Structure 1
Amino acid sequence: MALSEITTRLTAAAQAHGRDASGITLIAVSKVQPAERVEAVLTEGHRVFGENRVQEAQGRWPAFQEQFGGIDLHLIGPLQSNKVRQAVEMFSAIHTVDRPKLAKKLADLAQERGTCPDLFIQVNTGEEPQKAGCLPSEADGFISDALAMDLPIKGLMCIPPIEEEPTLHFALLAKIARRNGLEGLSMGMSSDFEKAIAQGATHIRVGSAIFGERVPG
C-alpha cells in the first residue's frame, strides 16, 4: 500500500506550483480491486474512492459505508442511461457526463429528488473514437446547455491518449474550463498526476499506485 507516498508526492507537486494541497482531492480508484486492499486503505483513514461501474459499487460499498462511515464515492466510468437513478443515489460526484441525453436524465432526476451529485463533463481531448466524452469543439455548447438545466456542473474531466504527452491535454482541459467559468479539473492518474497538478487539477484519480496492479475478476 502506497497511500502515504502518493499523499507526499501530491503535496510536493502542489507546493512546487504554488498551490495548496488541500485544494486537490485524491480519489483512490478502487475498481476491480480485492476487498482486502480497499479495506486496508480505508483503515489508513482515506475516505474518497472512485468506481467505474455502478453495479460493482453497489456490491462493494454499502457494507464498507456501514463499517467505516463518511465515504465519499465518485463515479469515474461511463454511465449508462438505465443506471442513472442508481448512480445518483449512490455517488456524491459523477465525472463522466458526456452527452445531452444523459444530462437531461440527470436534470429530470434532480428535479424529482431535489438534489443531485456534483457533476463533471467529460471531454474527449484526444478526439479518440473509442473513448467517451464530448469533443473539444462541442464542449462550450454542451457546458452551456447543461448549466441551463440547472445541473451542478463543477468542472471537466479528461483521460488523455496513452501514447501522447498528457500535459497538452491537461492544458486544453484547463483552458476550456477557464473560459466557461468552471473551477473543477478531474485529470491525472497514477502515471501522470503530478503533471496534472502542474496544470491545475483539483481531482486526481489514482489506482494502481495506491493499491497495486488491478486484479481482474
Structure 2
Amino acid sequence: MSQDIQQNLSDVRQQIAAAADKAGRREEEISLVAVSKTHAAEQIEAALEAGQRVFGENRVQEAQSKFPALKTSWPGLELHLIGPLQTNKVKEAVGLFDVIQTLDRPKLAQALAREMQRSGSRPDCFIQVNTGEETQKSGIAPADIEAFLNLTRDDLGLPVVGLMCIPPIDENPALHFAFLNELARRSRLAQLSMGMSADYEQAVRLGATAVRVGSAIFGSRPAVSPS
C-alpha cells in the first residue's frame, strides 16, 4: 500500500510539473493538496514518508481523529478544510486547520472572525464560489463576490487569500476554472484552489495554485460497511 501511494504521488507530481510547463508556469507555484478523507492515518503516514506535507479533509470530526497526533509527529504538516464547515464546529476548525477553503456565507464569516479574535489563530481562508450557480451546492454566487469580500476581508478582517470552486459534474470544468481565474483577478486575490483527480492538469494550465487530489493518490475510498 505504501509503495502504491509513493508511486501515485510521484505520478501526480510529474503530471502537475508537465501541465505547469505547458502553461509557462513553475511547478513550485502549485500546491498539491492530498485529499485524505475516509483514509486511515497509516495511509497518510505513507504519503508523509514520501514527502507529501499538505493534506485536505472534508469533516472536522474525522480530521480531529487523525491529525493532532500526525501534526505532532510531522511538524511541517499543513492541513486544509475542503468540506462544508458548520458554525458549531468553528472553534475546533480554527484550532486544527491551517487553511479553510470553504468560506461560503456571512454567518460563517462572522463566527470565524469571532473565534480568530478569541484564539489568536488565523488560518488562511478561501471563498468558495458556486461558479455553476447550482441550487444544491454551497458557495457564493459570482455576482455577490465583491460584496462578500467587502464583508469578510474589509469589515471582518479575515485572512482571505483566494477563491475555490467545485465545477458542476456534467459541465466542462475548464470553463469554470477560467471563470474562477478571472473572478480572482478582478478581486485582486492571488490564490486559486481548483481541480481534483479527474481534471487537475486542466486546472494547473488555467491558473490553479492548489489542486485537491484524492483518489489518484490514495485510490478509491473505502467501501462503507452495510449496517
Matched ranges for 1:37-76 at <5 A? 37-76=43-82
Tell me the TM-score normalised to structure 1 length.
Answer: 0.97
SS at match of 1:172: helix
SS at match of 1:74: strand
Cα pair 2:95 2:121 within 8 Å, conserved:
no
SS at match of 1:190: coil
- TM superposition shift of 1:195: 0.7
Amino acid in the other structure paired with 1:155? G
Q: Unpaired segments of 5 or more residues in structure 1?
A: none
Cα pair 1:34 1:215 within 8 Å, conserved:
no
- TM superposition shift of 1:216: 4.2
Cα pair 1:32 1:216 within 8 Å, conserved:
no
- Equivalent position of 1:152 in the other structure: 159
Match for 1:134 among 119, 126, 140? Answer: 140
Amino acid in the other structure paired with 2:179? L
- Equivalent position of 1:114 in the other structure: 120
Tell me the TM-score normalised to structure 2 length.
Answer: 0.93
The alignment of Structure 1 onto Structure 2 pairs a total of residues equal to 217
- TM superposition shift of 1:197: 0.8
User: More deviation in 207-216 or 88-97?
Assistant: 207-216
Cα pair 2:36 2:214 within 8 Å, conserved:
yes
Runs of 4 or more above 6 Å deviation = none
User: More deviation in 57-66 or 84-93?
Assistant: 57-66
Question: 1:166 aligned to 2:155?
Answer: no
Q: Distance in 1 between matches of 2:73 and 2:184?
A: 37
Q: Distance in 1 between matches of 2:166 and 2:36?
A: 17
Question: 1:10 aligned to 2:16?
Answer: yes
Which digits, 9 at most, give the CA deviation of each residue in 1:9-44, with x for residues without a partner? 011111110111111100000001133322211111
Cα pair 1:93 1:117 within 8 Å, conserved:
yes
Q: Percent identical across equivalent pairs?
A: 54
Question: 1:194 aligned to 2:201?
Answer: yes
- TM superposition shift of 1:110: 1.9
Match for 1:182 among 172, 177, 189? Answer: 189
Cα pair 2:101 2:125 within 8 Å, conserved:
yes
- TM superposition shift of 1:126: 0.8
Question: 1:79 aligned to 2:79?
Answer: no
Q: Distance in 1 between matches of 2:66 and 2:40?
A: 10
RMSD: 1.1
- TM superposition shift of 1:115: 3.3
Amino acid in the other structure paired with 1:67? S
Q: Distance in 2 between matches of 1:76 and 1:122?
A: 9
